[in-house]
Structure 1
Amino acid sequence: MSGLIGKKIGMTSLYNADGQALACTVIQAGPCVVTQVRTEEKDGYEALQLAFGEKKEKNTTKPMLGHFKAANTTPKQKLVEFKFFTEQHELGKTLTIQDIFQEGEFVDVVGKVKGRGFQGVVKRHGFGGVGGQTHGQHNRARHPGSIGACSFPSRVFKGIRMAGRMGGNRVTIQNLRVLKIIPEQNLLVISGSVPGSKNSFVIIEK
């Protein structure tokens, strides 16, 4: 499965031939450097490790400095392995948008959702609250209500929807069309939205 590491720039819109505005996301994809080549004989599986984003040498550990030196490249911020790469590439080779993607094809984008902190059941699970504020109801409008039985089973079942931390999880959005490629600036314009905040790392696979 071929792909690149990128950074989410933001959202904009493009117009199609019928004059309809299409919401799309701009991603700076690559250039990525091949920092390790996994083989079946040595590692038990085949994969390519790609690196993206510049990182200061003083903020990089010595083992990682040696890892990047072996690939003849500078320290990078993000490392991702891609299994089942369509083509074989040598250590230290730089991959760009034009090497992987074409306009009109469909890709999958993996990112980390924005963290929303500790949220109640209304926002986290779409609960409707406990009803009105009459008949003795006081400050209960957005509460979860009853969460379990009394004498039997005398416990709360695992997995019940309750308040808790929301967001911050890894999400994959599938089948997003590549609307435009701007190779001079390493920009990829993809239809729809992708998870993550601005300047967050994403993985584009096809």
Structure 2
Amino acid sequence: MQFESRRAGVIAVKAGMMQDWDEYGARVPLTVLWIDECTVVRHKHQQRDGVTSLVLGCSAKRPKQLHPRQLGEYAAAGVTPKRKLWECKVTEDALLPAGTVIGAAHFKAGQYLDISGVTKGKGFAGVMKRWNFAGQNATHGNTKHHRAPGSIGGRTDPGKVWKGKKMPGHLGCERVTFKNIWVYKVDPARNLLFVRGQVPGPQGSFVYVRDAFRWKWAERQAAQLPFPTFLGEALPEVQVARSDRQDPYRVYREDVGYFEADWKGD
């Protein structure tokens, strides 16, 4: 695994949220991601396709819901029809043959991920909900304009509404990426990832998971991630990471000049 290497990601299903407690007794909010048969459908090469990437598929789909041309592509790859596809860019040394299954063992507890998804759609919303505007006065002559945006431009100069002005409109249904999400626990037997905090999208939606781009390379090497993916027969045990934060309950003793929790550990 070289410095410039870029591993494949996975397509996961947002199963819901839960909570757990770390070694300090602090509560950790968790999102559960289920990797449902994420399989490599085909791969692209720079010389032939102009890009080096893997086409991944997740979850099963009934053959009658697909065009015969699509069924032929799955049959040629030896893969069952998939419900969701995603083209994931990788480096040449991280290419995987068609039919390779990528599970939760592809990741390790304690590493960081970039997770992308489509946020919840909330319909047409006003400026107070969409852009957090404060609104206008509640009284002093204000009538039926308590939640209005106010002025949206000048008169003769500039004589128009500037492009990008924050206005009422459709809220949500946007592709966003949450960066540097910490992996609390990995369950390879059930193909589950437990990550700290929230991820975009409603429960049951698909999200796209891969190694964090801004994760320090030294830490990535120390984690010894399986490259290009986990190919062993026996699945590893459930992994739970130690907290990447300091003890939130330690107290600084000014009279002696040390943290009480550190002193107790000695």
Is this contact kept in 2: 1:4–1:205, CA < 8 A? yes
Q: Offset of 1:183 from its aligned partner?
A: 1.6
How does the TM-score come out when normalised to structure 2? Answer: 0.74
Q: Distance in 2 between matches of 1:101 and 1:48?
A: 17
**Greater strand share, structure number:** 1
Q: How far apart, in 2, do the equivalents of 1:15 and 1:157 lie?
A: 49
Give the partner amino acid of 1:37: H
Q: Is 1:96 the counterpart of 2:103 in the alignment?
A: yes
Return the offset for 1:19. Answer: 0.5
Corresponding residue number in structure 2 for 1:189 = 194
What is the CA deviation profile of residues 103-139 of structure 1, one whole-angstrom value per residue up to 9, with x for unaligned ones? 111111001000111100111111111112232x211
Q: What's 1:166 paired with?
A: 171
Residue correspondence of structure 1 range 123-134 to structure 2 within 5 A: 123-134=129-140
Alignment of 1:40-55 (within 5 A): 40-55=46-61
Provide the residue aligned with 1:145 in structure 2.
Answer: 150
Q: Contact conserved, 2:53 with 2:95, CA < 8 A, in 1?
A: no
Pairing 1:1-206 to 2, within 5 Å after superposition: 1=6, 2-85=8-91, 87-98=94-105, 100-135=106-141, 137-206=142-211
Q: Which segment drifts farther, 115-124 or 38-47?
A: 38-47
Amino acid at match of 1:89: L
**Which ranges of structure 1 fall in alignment gaps of 5 or more residues?**
none
Which amino acid is 1:54 matched to? A
Residue 50 of structure 1 aligns to a residue whose secondary structure is strand
Q: Residue 177 of structure 1: CA displacement?
A: 1.0
SS in 1 for 2:78: coil
Moved over 4 A (4+): none
What percentage of residue pairs aligned between the two structures are identical?
Answer: 35
Aligned length: 204
Q: Give 1:155 shift.
A: 1.4
**Higher normalized contact order (CA 8 Å, seq sep 6+, divided by chain length):** 1
The root-mean-square deviation of aligned C-alpha atoms, in Å, is 1.2
Q: Secondary structure at the match of 1:69?
A: helix
Contact 1:4 1:30 in 2 (8 A): no
- Structure number with greater Rg is 2
* Secondary structure in 2 matching 1:178: strand
Could you tell me how far apart the structure 2 residues matched to 1:193 and 1:166 are?
Answer: 19
Q: Which runs of 5+ in 2 are unaligned?
A: 1-5, 212-266
Letter in 1 for 2:210: E
